[in-house]
């Protein structure tokens, strides 16, 4: 019984921004626990290659090409998935971008890009999927936040603002949709070795600072996010709602 609480057999999961990095790691991890996965992104080649790798490993995987900043495209493709592949049981709102610059020099167009992708994208996908989940009386939405949902760091204030918004959007989705049987939670990763963070990984001074600042003393590996995703996607979290789960090696727990 306890083991079945974490089973994802028979569930269909849509992961936005999953052609690489954290999104792809979560797609593979959820598939390993029994889910069928739909990978999303804007680049057909990148998404197609990721789907092919999962299929070669024996998993059921599909592609869904749309830009999360375009609500009409999101709505159309979510409807297509529901009609052609199956009912979406779990949505993982992972699509996101980063841009680093001093706040006083931060380009306005990058501010708009960050909010359109990181916040509006999660809203668009969450809304489109929830419209199908609500009549069924069940569903899971997992938003990907960050330690920047809680903390700020020099040079990324707008990104920090978007991830703070994700934490409260998660709470707002819970407030509106929990009564319909949906569970909406967030995972807030600390510093992980990903393509988005490669410049920081390669910066010896930053890596030394991070390893000293983080109680665990190291960068995270993307596979270490899978357990949190399985928990929030499964029946094990049936009464967890509006929560942000920090997976950060203790970074937000200490000064």
Which residues are tagged catalytic?
159
Residue 247, strand partner residues: 189
User: Residue 16 is encoded by which pair of tokens?
Assistant: 């936005």
User: Residue 87 is encoded by which pair of tokens?
Assistant: 């009912």
The Cα–Cα gap between 41 and 43 comes to 6
The vertex-25 CA angle with 116 and 228, nearest 5°, equals 85
Alpha-carbon distances of 46 from 24, 42, 56, 71, rounded to whole Å:
11, 8, 15, 22
User: Residue 207 is encoded by which pair of tokens?
Assistant: 């890596």
The Cα–Cα gap between 239 and 229 comes to 15
Q: What is the DSSP letter of 219?
A: P
The 10 Å Cβ neighbour count of residue 188 is: 24
Give the DSSP H or E segment for 159.
helix 157-177
Give the DSSP H or E segment for 106.
none
């Amino acid at each position: 019984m306890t083991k079945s609480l974490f089973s994802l057999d028979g569930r269909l999961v849509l992961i936005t921004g999953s052609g690489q990095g954290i999104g792809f790691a979560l797609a593979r991890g959820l598939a390993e626990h029994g889910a069928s996965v739909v990978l999303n992104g804007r680049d057909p080649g990148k998404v197609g290659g990721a789907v092919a790798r999962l299929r070669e490993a024996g998993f059921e995987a599909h592609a869904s090409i749309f830009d999360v900043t375009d609500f009409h495209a999101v709505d159309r493709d979510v409807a297509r998935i529901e009609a052609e592949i199956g009912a979406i049981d779990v949505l993982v709102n992972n699509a996101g971008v980063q841009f680093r610059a001093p706040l006083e020099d931060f380009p306005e167009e990058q501010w708009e890009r960050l909010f359109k992708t990181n916040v509006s994208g999660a809203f668009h996908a969450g809304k489109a999927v929830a419209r199908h989940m609500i009549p069924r009386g069940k569903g899971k939405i997992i938003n990907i936040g960050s330690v920047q949902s809680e903390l700020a760091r020099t040079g990324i204030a707008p990104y920090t603002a978007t991830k703070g918004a994700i934490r409260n959007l998660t709470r707002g989705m819970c407030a509106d949709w929990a009564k319909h049987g949906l569970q909406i939670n967030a995972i807030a990763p600390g510093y992980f070795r990903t393509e988005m963070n490669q410049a920081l990984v390669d910066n010896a001074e930053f890596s030394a600072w991070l390893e000293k600042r983080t109680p665990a003393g190291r960068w995270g590996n993307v596979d270490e996010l899978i357990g949190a995703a399985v928990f929030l996607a499964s029946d094990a979290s049936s009464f967890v709602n509006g929560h942000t789960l920090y997976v950060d090696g203790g970074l937000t727990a200490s000064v």
